[in-house]
Amino acid sequence: MSLHDRSGLGPNLDVEDLVVIRPDQLNDLIARLGDLGYETKGPTIGDGAIVPGAVRGTSDLPVGARDAQSPGRYRLEYSDDGHLFEWAVGARSWKAEFFAPRERQWRAVIVDGTLRFTEPTKSARPLAIIGARPCEVAAISVLDEVLMNGACPDTGYDARREGLFVVVAECTAPGGTCFCASMGSGPSAGPGFDLALLELDDADGHRFVVRVGTARGAEVMAGVSSTSATDADVAARAQALDRSINRMHRHLQTEGLAALLARSMESPRWDQIAERCLSCGNCTLVCPTCFCSDFRDTTDVSGAVERTRTWSSCFDLDHSYLHGGPVRASTSSRYRQWMSHKLSTWWDQFDTSGCVGCGRCITWCPVGIDITEEAAAIRGDDEAARAVHVEEEAR
């Protein structure tokens, strides 16, 4: 089927148009993307959590699932209401689809006395993500700046990222650790999506308000039966997003935060955090924007050499190792590096924050360290110190 096939029942659409589809028509949308050659993936249930997986219809989505999240805790709960997007995020982000946890860079062998290098094929079938969260779309945009648009693009990331089609599910049920509203990455989707769904279930029935994000999204929706959104649909959508914001109980004050952390390198709070931090690296593993990696060269009995890139973490002791030892030997210095890079020096490097407010680092921290709480504590210490300084100067 061609992307330009207008034989479907949907109307001609423009960017920012709103239409309404029912669950069976969402099935049609998923099927149409498959017919267009996309590999369709989305949130599924696996190992007691929301995880990325193959999605060929709405029955593959987390039907009736809800997640209860708090610092260091995560569990799924279920209802029989048939809702598809009443959860926040699981541990695994979409980063792994484009920035593989382990990837061979090249292999070298000696053939007839000549050293020959080969690289793995990096082309991939285009991917359509059904039900990515707004914070995850924002995270992909952050990774684009780091791995695709920077001075040294990652060719593997670029190849897998090419052709991505995103159907985002706007949030109506934020988790207990979410703070995307503080970071401007949710609950409504910003740039980077092709189609945005918002799930409603009220007196007018179970349905999805679809917002068109790109011309490509409009082309795809043209082959799916839909109806124009009514004023009631638009109002219900706005009310659902407002409720979502009001349900977020965590906030991160971002004004002046980068400068605050830059001048707080000697804050005693880092040592207080280190008393609880296990340096396990869970926060970096679940983070949708962390990109640290290691390169390792290995040989086999035939003499062939392979270079492999694997995910790494600034919490690993060897990650800052130089000829004399690790630069950041203490837990406090490694946590400080992670948090100050994420919220401060990332701006210097990439002109954006490295945090999208998904809350994963809080939920999946074994001891429940809360980045919003730590930032607030550092700000409080800084304000107190400045007040003392002003008082001393006034004497």
Write the DSSP symbol of residue 351: S
Q: What parts of the chain have a pLDDT lower than 70?
A: 1-11, 122-123, 388-395
At 217, phi and psi to the nearest 5? Answer: -65, -40
Digit-coded pLDDT (tens) for 63-104: 999 999 999 999 999 999 999 999 999 999 999 999 999 999
Strands 18-21 and 205-212 come out as: antiparallel
Q: Which long-range contacts (CB under 8 A, 24 or more apart) does 154-159 make?
A: 154/99, 155/122, 156/99, 156/100, 156/103, 156/122, 157/98, 157/99, 159/122, 159/123, 159/124
Contact status, residue 107 vs residue 308, Cβ threshold 8 Å: no
pLDDT of residue 113: 80
pLDDT of residue 384: 82
pLDDT of residue 1: 37
Burial of 323 (0-12, 13-18, 19+ CB in 10 A): exposed
Listed residue (263, 278, 360, 357) closest to 316, CA to CA: 278
pLDDT of residue 391: 64
pLDDT of residue 11: 61
126: helix, strand or coil? coil
- Alpha-carbon span 23 to 374, nearest angstrom: 42
pLDDT of residue 300: 87
pLDDT of residue 17: 93
Spell out the domain ranges in the chain.
18-246, 257-394
Digit-coded pLDDT (tens) for 181-197: 999 998 999 999 999 99
